[in-house]
Amino acid sequence: MEIERSLNDFRLNFFTHIAHEFRTPLAIIKSATDKIAQADGPAPGAAEG
């Protein structure tokens, strides 16, 4: 039972850190692209709505 708990704790820690490592740079990229898109306005020929 103790080994199972340790393994579950390890998995939780691992996936928490991996998720953070992916989310952080993606959030920075998304923020930058959102700012660029707002500054440029809608793309020519883009559908409204």
How far apart are alpha carbons 49 and 42 in whole angstroms?
12
Q: Does the pLDDT at position 49 exceed 60?
A: no
Q: What is the residue-averaged pLDDT of the chain? A: 86
**Stretch 35-42: mean pLDDT:** 80
Measured in whole angstroms, how far is the alpha carbon of residue 45 from the centre of its chain? Answer: 29
* The pLDDT of residue 41: 66
Residue pLDDT, tens place only, 17-35: 999 898 888 899 999 999 9
